[in-house]
Structure 1
Amino acid sequence: MSQLFYLKACSSTNDEISKFLLYEKSDFLGLHTFNQTKGRGQYGNTWASAAEKNVAYTLAVKTQNFKVSDYMFNYYTAIIIRDFLAKLTDLPVYIKWPNDIILKNKKIVGILIEKKKIIQSNYFIMGAGFNVLQDNFDEISNAGSLLTQTGQRFELEDFTLKLHNYLTEKLKNYPSEQEIMEEFNRNLFRRDQVSVFEIKKERQNGIIRYADEKGELWIDLENDGLQRFYHKEIKLLY
Structure 2
Amino acid sequence: MPLKFFEKIDSTNEYVKENLLYFKENFSGVYTFNQLQGKGQRGNSWLCEPKKNIALTFCLANSSISPLSVSFWVAIVVRNFIEKITHLSTSIKWPNDILIKRKKICGILIEKSKGTFIIGIGINVLQTDFSDLDLLRASSLTLLTSKSYSLSSLVNHLLINFKENYSLLDHSEYLYKTYNNYLFGKNLIMSFKIKNSIVKGRIKGVDEDGLLLLELENKLIEKFKIKEIEFLYE
Seq. identity, %: 38
Q: Work out whether residues 24 and 59 of structure 2, in 8 Å CA contact, stay in contact via their aligned partners in 1.
A: no
Shift of the alpha carbon at 1:19?
A: 5.9
Residues 91-126 of structure 1 deviation map (CA, whole Å, 9 limit, x = unaligned): 111000001000111001111001112xxxx21000
* Residue 150 of structure 2, aligned match among 140, 149, 155: 155
Look up the match of 2:192: 197
Q: Work out whether residues 197 and 235 of structure 1, in 8 Å CA contact, stay in contact via their aligned partners in 2.
A: yes
- State the TM-score, normalized to the length of structure 2: 0.92
Mapped partners of 1:125, 1:23: distance in 2: 13
Q: Does 1:32 align with 2:46?
A: no
Q: Work out whether residues 89 and 150 of structure 1, in 8 Å CA contact, stay in contact via their aligned partners in 2.
A: yes
Map of 1:1-238 to 2, 5 A cutoff?
Answer: 3-18=2-17, 21-23=20-22, 25-64=24-63, 67-117=64-114, 122-141=115-134, 142-223=137-218, 225-238=220-233
Shift of the alpha carbon at 1:176?
A: 1.5
SS at match of 1:135: coil
Mapped partners of 1:29, 1:113: distance in 2: 15
Amino acid at match of 1:128: I
Structure 1: tracts of 5 or more residues without a match: none
Aligned Cα root-mean-square deviation (Å)? 1.7
Amino acid at match of 2:181: R
Amino acid at match of 2:105: I
- State the TM-score, normalized to the length of structure 1: 0.91
Q: Work out whether residues 73 and 168 of structure 2, in 8 Å CA contact, stay in contact via their aligned partners in 1.
A: no
Task: Answer 1 or 2: which has greater strand percent.
Answer: 1
Given the superposition, is the C-alpha separation of residues 162 and 192 from structure 1 closer, same or farther in structure 2, using an over 3 Å criterion? same
Q: Work out whether residues 192 and 207 of structure 1, in 8 Å CA contact, stay in contact via their aligned partners in 2.
A: yes
SS at match of 2:186: coil
Residues 57-79 of structure 1 deviation map (CA, whole Å, 9 limit, x = unaligned): 00111124xx4421121111111
SS at match of 2:187: coil
